[in-house]
Amino acid sequence: MPVLILAVLVGVWLVSQWTPLFNSEARSVKKFAEEMERVYREDKYGGKTPEETYDLFISALKAGNIELASKYFEPYAQDNWLETLVQYKKENSLDVFILELEKTRSKWKKVVTTDSNITAFEYEVIIKENTTAISEGDTIPIPAGNYTNSTELHKNMNGVWKIYGL
């Protein structure tokens, strides 16, 4: 019987020691989820159609407002795109990027999706010579050839369309 009492006391002590850790972690997760929901709920940047959002994005770039342009992306991607656009501006390659986006837009073919909150457009890209691209600091080889790329936009909870991927 004393062993059973000791085991219960040890069990109670262990629970009392670990519970605050679990509660703290649960509170952190809940706080993060609430913050993300707030960010998405307050995000009003975008158009009433996917095409309008894309056009607003290009217009912001043409005006040199890269901060505004980055806001047309999904919230989780905005900081990365702002960093990318700052780099393009520093390298004086923003105009080339804008021309590429406009050329891409002119070749779009809408892809049928089963979700009315997702729209994708495919387009053909022809790479005439082997080249490379830089992504997240890594150099990626791109062999010559014909490629099909896509631009995807998602409708958020406010009914505005956000760029998900270029």
Q: What is the pLDDT of residue 112?
A: 86
Same domain, 27 and 72: no
Q: How many CB atoms lie within 10 A of CB 36?
A: 12
Same domain, 144 and 86: yes
What domain range is 8 assigned to?
A: 1-42
Q: CATH number for the domain including 143?
A: 3.10.450
Same domain, 85 and 99: yes
Same domain, 118 and 158: yes
Question: Side chain identity at 127, as an amino acid letter?
Answer: I
Query: Which pLDDT tens digit goes with each residue over 23-72?
Result: 667 777 777 777 777 877 788 999 999 999 999 999 999 999 999 999 99
The predicted model scores a pTM of 0.74
More confident residue, 157 or 13: 157
Q: What is the pLDDT of residue 154?
A: 95
Query: Which pLDDT tens digit goes with each residue over 71-123?
Result: 999 999 999 999 999 999 999 999 999 999 999 999 999 998 899 999 999 99
Q: How many CB atoms lie within 10 A of CB 66?
A: 20
Number of domains in the chain: 2
Same domain, 17 and 53: no
Same domain, 62 and 8: no
Question: Side chain identity at 108, as an amino acid letter?
Answer: W
